[in-house]
Amino acid sequence: MAPKNNKRGLRKKAFLKSTKTKQISSSMAEEIDHTEDIEDNSTKKIRNTEKNDKLSLKMDTSKKSRIEILGEVLLLLKTDDSKNKFKSTLASMFKLMDIEDPRKRAIHWILTTFMNNLKDLNETQDLTYFAETCFDLLLPKQLLNILTTENDTIKEGLEIGAGGFGIIRKGTFCLNNGSEKIVAVKSPNKVDYKLGIRREAIIHSQLDHPNIVKMIAFQKKPTKLVMEFMENQSLREVLMYHSDCTEYFYAWIIQIISAMEYISDKQIVHRDLATKNVFVNSKMSCKVGDFGLSCFVGYNNGVYEEKMGELQNHNTSPESRVTQCFTTKSDVWAMGLLMWEMYFLEQSKYMYETELMFMLFNCMFKRPSNCPTGLFNYIIHKICIDDPDSRPTFTEIKEFLVSNEHIFFN
């Protein structure tokens, strides 16, 4: 039997050999989505140089797909008895990867889940590196097709806000035809936040809905997330600084609920739904944005457990504050708060934000005088209730409000 240290060295050597890929061409992205062998006779060189590591790897893409290479690396990890925590994750992955029709979304989310597990455990530097490599392999087709690598295609201007993990600036994005488009550009305000924005890009790039802020491009180095520019900024700013907006409330609420219905159908939990993260364009239409805290729950029975630190926002549901577990019903709670907040801010435009956050965090719900009684009762007695299982779905909320539009005007 080979010495244990020798085994570990062989595994590490094989691991590095299999995963030393830090740049991916768009042709490889096609292969991730379709899991086909590349019919290309040329050999592509993929090189990543670390400060203290000169190792490089030439990968013959005509022989093996990225999924096959990843499978070999996972097998090496699976046979390592010292990493017991990975065994259940790996076993589930292998089982799911054996499905007859491993289409792009299934493979993407299976491997994304594994990458998140690696990041959370963060047991060794090698595993952290592997997690980053997985990220490169997992960038979805939609994102890779619009991946921006030229710095001069994005020009940043004045700061217009801040979101999860970064600063948002107004800027311009140079299109392929030479024209420029006004955009919002999100950049990390700390080095540690780069991965956060990259994870946000994975979620955001999967979403395509008329009431969700459109993602336009992602630049890897330096890290930048490019989104459509919303002329009227956040819904909170509109409510606080514009004159009477109640005539828009019904349309806005239906638009936001429609977006959240779509998001929940994608098995994604937003985790930070609030007026500050809903944006208004020049046509006075609302769109949900800022997916910095969002997560996929499709392979976790619809539940995401926060392990990196307590999340205690004003819009965090009661059960999530206690358990740090988040579900779609957590977002439903936040939707109820958002509806109440809309009427409250319209009535109390000049309240300090700290006072508002205190009221929301402590669930001090009083009916704003401009909020119809029927709507207020529905929010308090149907949506913002303690038992998450008894809360309605976004579809049920939308159906009720569409069928009972009159409660907005009584």
Q: Which residues have C-beta within 8 Å of that of residue 354, sequence separation ≥ 6?
A: none
Helix (H) or strand (E) holding 294: none
**Catalytic site residue 272?**
yes
pLDDT of 360: 63
203 vs 375, higher pLDDT: 375
Work out the number of other CB atoms within 10 angstroms of the CB of residue 253: 20
- The beta-strand segments (E) located in 101-255 are 147-148, 154-163, 166-174, 180-188, 215-219, 224-228
Amino acid present at 19: T
pLDDT, average across residues 44-62: 36
How do residues 242-283 score in pLDDT, each as one tens digit? 878 899 999 999 999 999 999 999 999 999 999 999 999 999
Helix (H) or strand (E) holding 125: helix 125-138
How do residues 96-128 score in pLDDT, each as one tens digit? 444 444 444 555 555 555 555 555 544 444 455
Q: Locate 271 and state its tokens.
A: 């985790």
Name the average pLDDT for the chain.
72
C-alpha 213/C-alpha 116 separation (Å) is: 24
In the numeric block, the tokens 């957590």 are attached to: 330
C-alpha 242/C-alpha 127 separation (Å) is: 50
In this prediction the pTM is 0.66
Catalytic entry in 136, 272, 290, 331: 272
299 vs 370, higher pLDDT: 370
pLDDT of 45: 35
pLDDT of 221: 79
Known binding residue 221? Answer is: no
Distances from the Cα of 149 to the Cαs of 61, 154, 232, 316, 377, in angstroms? 22, 10, 29, 37, 51
Cα 286 vs. chain centroid, distance in angstroms?
19
Which domains are assigned to the chain? 4-141 (no CATH), 146-228 (3.30.200.20), 235-408 (1.10.510.10)
